[in-house]
Amino acid sequence: MNLKQLMCTSLLLAGVLILGPATISRAQDTTLAQTAAASPIPDVTIPGVPPTGNCCLWQIHKKANGERTAVFGTPYQCATGQTARGDTRIKLTLNTEGPPCDQGTAIIPNGSILEASGNTIKRASGFAHFFGKFTIKNPAGAVLFEGTMEAIDRIGTHHPPFGTEACNRQNHLEGWLIGRGSNLFPNSTLRALIVARAALPTPNIPTQAVSGSIDGVFIKCP
């Protein structure tokens, strides 16, 4: 190593020592934040589950029947084929599937309504993704839970070796929802999967029936 190289190396090491790991970490965090800010992918906050505390669980198992309406805009071309986006609304009536899997008849009573609104991205093949917000209200109209819902059309998760379902099953919807309890259920969260038979809305038939179930957990913490 010549004298010039040695001096450059010494200055670099001195800079690291002066800045220290905390300053470097802050610089990295700033870079990550700038990258996130420049991305079209938004950050979303969902309720979590505390790592400590005597939280309790109730299993939820509901029938979910209703409809989905979507109004799609002008199609555009992707590498995977023609694609379109559309504002979407989902409205489902929830009723108990009975014991032993539904322990939430007093939490989500029969006749409660799940409503979700958001946006769907769909391909011409029927493969589609929905993302939006949801509420569950009891028959009197009081909000029980509100949060985030996500669903994918034309997928199947119970293919071999777990079942016989095709990985691209038509008229099939699977997804999840995570919500926070209202003041009727403070310190609580609902976390569930949704599976349904559901044809994707089209420009000619913007509203389609949805028939499925919601299975998950209600968590109550002190």
Q: Read off the pLDDT of residues 60-94 as tens digits, 9 standing for 90 and up.
A: 999 999 999 999 999 999 999 999 999 999 999 99
CA distance 192 to 217: 6
Question: Do residues 68 and 118 both lie within one domain?
Answer: yes
* The total number of structural domains that make up the chain: 2
Range of the domain at 164: 56-220
Model confidence pLDDT, tens digit, residues 122-134: 999 999 999 999 9
Inter-residue contact 150 to 131 (CB < 8 Å):
yes
Same domain, 135 and 192: yes
CA–CA distance, 185 with 145 (Å, rounded to integer)? 8
> Are 128 and 30 in the same domain?
no
State whether 124 and 165 are in the same domain.
yes
- What phi and psi values does residue 55 have, to the nearest 5 degrees? -75, 150
In this structure, the answer to whether residues 61 and 34 fall within a common structural domain is: no
DSSP 8-state secondary structure symbol assigned to residue 126:
S
pLDDT at 47: 96
Residue with the two structure tokens 């071999």: 160
Verify cis geometry, omega within 30 degrees of 0, for the bond prior to 100: yes
Neighbours of 55 (CB within 10 A): 15
The stretches in the chain having pLDDT less than 70 are: 1-37
Q: Are residues 64 and 129 in the same domain?
A: yes
How far apart CA 146 and CA 136 sit, in angstroms, is 6
At 163, which CATH number?
2.40.350.10
